[in-house]
Amino acid sequence: MAVECAEIRRHHRVGIKDIAGIHLPTNVKFQSPAYSVDTEETVEPYTTEKMSRVPGGYLALTECFEIMTVDFNNLQELKSLATRKPDQIGVPVIKEGILDAVVVWFVLQLDEEHSLSTSPSEETCWEQAVYPVQGLADYWIKPGDHVTMEASCEDCYLRIQNVNVLGMEHEMEVVKTFTKNKDLSLGNEADLCSALANLQTSKPDAVEQTCVLESTEIALLNNAPYHEGFQTAMRKVLSSLTPETRCQGNELCCGTGQSSPEPFYVLDVSEGFSILPLIAGTLGQVKPYSSVEKDQHRMTLDLISEANHFPKETLEFWLRHAEDESAVLQRPKSDKLWSIIILDVIEPSGLIQQEIMEKAAISRCLLQSGGKIFPQYVLMLGMLVESQTLVEENAVQGTECTLGLNIAPFINQFQVPIRAFLELSSLPCIPLSEPVELLRLDLMTPYLNTSSREVKVRICRPGQVTAIPFWFHMCLDEEVRLDTSSETSHWKQAAVVLDNPIQVQTGQELLVSVQHHKSNVSITVKQ
């Protein structure tokens, strides 16, 4: 079915034109790997989501429709799947909304009487396949419109391609064209759908740069508070640096007027595509350096820089200058230091980046007087919850679901200590406590860090404590904080699931022990 889903949209379409003073030009087109089926970036032509738990939910814009039927006992049919022409599909729209994706699931017919469904309306272990819709001039659809697409099974993947919207007025024009030459019988339905799919696909004359980004990178671009927070924090640091610190040893530039002041050097070593160096470039006499690795990303940043009228060579790509790519953290020049270094502290999965404290230690040695690492410190927050969903997804429970077979002792040996990539906002759970601060990681002032901490947590409602979800506040300074659990966040959250649930009552206090060692966190709960 075709759906409207804001969560899918923000992970697969850049819906913002201006980000913290940076304008994204129209000749730069961002795409997610799930859409870019003709590039080497593609691994699978779809992504997957558990649609029943997608944050914000979704709206079905069409009825459920059949894409294809495959008989796995028919060898000849299976062989022909990869070579047969794509099936043309046209589906009427039943509700108005924004066309964000086509969601696909399967009905597995075991025999004439028994079947299994992976539908989002079923209680099932399966996720659904999501084909994001991109490249349309207008995504708004309404009853009377038709959504057309092509379905094929090239290279063993089910592909949903060439998704288009056919309005009522266009449908009548195509019908008139076809009726002049042939009857619109059932045999000509595929020809009609093919013609409809070719509508509204005219190509612009302007040369466009396509930039393929991971879904988390697209969500990051759409995260306005993230970029505005960095803009505010960087402006405060740069404005606080005095002319003396700015000269960094250049005696001529301070008071004699015989030489211009040295620029502020800003290094962004966050992973993946980032426009933070460009934002830094808008804050005065700044020399920003980006650590992006892919040529496609560099070309895109150059185009954005040009569209925003930056002087040529304002933005530098640090890996072209670094003596050793494995040692990215170096001085900008032999006699210069950085004013700001931006580090990636939290992975998109919701876990702490590996070796982050070691990188922070090196970064502190490369800062000029008054310079800062961003974020300056990170707070880890968590709460006690009751979640049967996490319990069942974390370990095999008993023998009832395995028809009496006792496989739990073996399978559960391989369970992970921490569940990552969680969406706390849509996770089925009952909060049993208020959020509390569990840990502080200080990148600028390491003596404030401790490897272990115990926190008393007060229970606010009775229940069974089964897990401790946690997330982070990225503190760029004392005033600017980025919450990794907010609805605009590109980060996921994580949780520790207890081996044995703890029965609690209102007013009771539990002792939560947090251990931090080499970027790994462990959490235990004591009564």
Residue closest to 467 by CA, chosen among 518, 507, 415, 519: 415
In a domain, 481, yes or no: yes
Write the CATH number for 130: 2.70.160
In a domain, 81, yes or no: yes
Say whether 360 sits in a helix, a strand or coil.
helix
Q: Which residues contact 369 (CB under 8 A, 6 or more apart)?
A: 245
Q: Are residues 220 and 113 in the same domain?
A: no
Helix axes 189-197, 168-179, angle to 10 degrees: 130
Q: Are residues 306 and 359 in the same domain?
A: yes
In a domain, 255, yes or no: no
In a domain, 355, yes or no: yes
CB atoms within 10 A of CB 284: 11
Domain boundary among 333, 357, 375: 375
Torsion of CA 116, 121, 124, 130, to 10 degrees: 90
Burial of 377 (0-12, 13-18, 19+ CB in 10 A): buried
Rg of the chain in Å (alpha carbons): 27
Q: E strands within 383-451? A: 385-386, 418-422, 430-431, 436-442
In a domain, 206, yes or no: no
Report the C-alpha gap between 62 and 125 in whole angstroms.
25
pLDDT in tens, 499-524: 999 999 999 999 999 999 888 999 99
Contact between residue 29 and residue 204 where contact means Cβ atoms under 8 Å apart: no
Q: Are residues 410 and 350 in the same domain?
A: no
Write the CATH number for 320: 3.40.50.150
Report the C-alpha gap between 504 and 460 in whole angstroms.
10
In a domain, 193, yes or no: no
For 453-483, letters b (16+ CB in 10 Å) and e give beeebebbeebbbbbbbbbbbbbbbeebbbb
Q: Are residues 218 and 340 in the same domain?
A: yes
Say whether 373 sits in a helix, a strand or coil.
strand
Three-state SS string across 167-200, please?
Answer: CHHHHHHHHHHHHCCCCCCHHHHHHHHHHHHCCC
Please list the pLDDT of the chain residue by residue as tens digits (527 residues): 999 999 999 999 999 999 999 999 999 999 988 876 554 544 788 999 999 999 999 999 999 999 999 898 888 888 888 788 899 999 999 999 999 999 999 999 999 999 999 999 998 889 999 999 998 989 999 999 999 999 998 777 899 999 999 987 665 443 333 333 334 344 455 555 555 555 444 444 455 789 999 999 999 999 999 999 999 999 999 999 965 555 544 443 444 454 567 899 999 999 899 999 999 999 999 999 999 989 999 999 999 999 999 988 889 998 776 655 556 788 888 888 999 999 999 999 999 999 999 999 999 999 999 999 999 999 999 999 999 999 999 999 889 888 899 999 999 899 888 999 999 999 999 999 999 999 999 999 988 888 899 999 999 999 999 999 999 999 999 999 999 999 999 999 999 999 999 999 999 999 999 999 888 999 999 98
CB atoms within 10 A of CB 272: 16
Say whether 381 sits in a helix, a strand or coil.
strand
pLDDT in tens, 84-141: 889 999 999 999 999 999 999 999 999 999 999 999 999 888 999 999 999 898 999 9
Report the C-alpha gap between 146 and 3 in whole angstroms.
13
Q: Are residues 394 and 338 in the same domain?
A: no
pLDDT in tens, 407-427: 999 998 998 889 999 999 999
Q: Are residues 371 and 382 in the same domain?
A: no
In a domain, 202, yes or no: no
What residue numbers bound the domain in which 46 lies?
2-173
Domain boundary among 322, 342, 375: 375
Q: E strands within 146-285? A: 146-152, 159-166, 209-212, 264-268
Number of domains in the chain: 3
Domain boundary among 173, 199, 231: 173
